[in-house]
Amino acid sequence: MQTEFEKRNDESSALTADMVKHAIKNNEFLLYYQPIVSLAEQQIKSAEALVRWQHPTLGIIAPDQFMPIAEETGLIVDLSQWIFEVCLQQYAKWQEAGLDMGLAINLSPKIIDNQSTLTVLEDLCKQLQINPANISLELTESAYKQYYNKKNELFHRLRALGFKLAIDDFELRYLNLPELLSLEVDEIKLNKLHILNLDKDEYSQKITKIIINIAKNCGLIVSATGVENLATWNLLEQYKCDQTQGYYICKPVSVPEFNKWIGINN
């Protein structure tokens, strides 16, 4: 007999494009936010917006189960525009409340060539009076490599508008050093797999120290995701990492929970 967990997994694996399309239309998606904290100052510097699907019968569905469907079918354009609108509107509310921090938004590689990406981001920032310099747009290292040789114009235009650019899941696996130096990026986020093992794995410690040194010598901000204990925090502080996020600080939470965590009224 199937457990409830196994039953939900089987149901989630049967997700379809029509279900995702219906969910976008009916506002079944929601955004959680995870604080990003400065190691040196121990103060919040930013928050990362993370999308979840609040399915009426399956409950909360993680993005790794529905994002591939959205990307393969082109629905990622509509979903991304929804994400931009909701998280930037929320960020404007935080600004009005006097909260001084940035906002990190993940970009799907499937929308990089879509002109509406630039237009929506630019128009929303103007409409909501948000300084693009406070917004960091994240793309994985493999996606940056994919577009490196194409010299994609969108990156340059986003930077020209003032947006910050960050490389997520970074470990010098896809990009070499000359490519890293030539990219118009402001920040790298270390590969989570190394950070999760940092307190007990010697290789993860070595590669993390090397990458942090390289990145900082290139003038980049270095962030680490997946910090789950004090030992990992202490190692990253020793390695001179700039920023960190993870369950040790705060898991991704809803807006009311985030506001409670930072101490402002909803």
- What angle in degrees, to the nearest 10, is found between the helix axes of 153-161 and 115-128? 10
Segments forming the whole domain that contains residue 46: 4-262
Q: What angle do CA 194, 195, 196 make, to 5 degrees?
A: 95
CATH number of the domain enclosing 222: 3.20.20.450
Q: How far is the C-alpha of 190 from the C-alpha of 240, rounded, in Å?
A: 13
Q: Average pLDDT over the chain, rounded to whole?
A: 90
Name, of 45-54, 111-120, 184-193, the range with top average pLDDT: 45-54
pLDDT over 70, % of the chain: 93
Confidence of residue 67 (pLDDT cuts 50, 70, 90): very high
Q: Are strands 29-38 and 221-225 parallel, antiparallel or unpaired?
A: unpaired
Q: Looking at the DSSP assignment, which residues form a beta bridge with residue 190?
A: 170, 224
- Angle among Cα 247, 252, 254 to the nearest 5 degrees reads 140
For residue 143, the model assigns a pLDDT of 86
pLDDT at 176 over 90: no
Q: Is the pLDDT of residue 175 over 90?
A: no
3-state secondary structure of 35: strand
Number of domains within the chain: 1
Virtual torsion, Cα 148, 152, 154, 156, nearest 10 deg: 70
Reported as a single tens digit per residue, the pLDDT across 157-171 is 888 999 999 999 998
> How do 102-106 and 135-140 pair as beta strands?
parallel
Mean pLDDT of 105-116: 86
Q: Whole-angstrom distance between the N-terminal and C-terminal Cα of the chain? A: 44
Residue 181, pLDDT score: 81
Q: What is the value of pTM for the model shown?
A: 0.91
Please tell me which residue, 178 or 259, carries the higher pLDDT value.
259
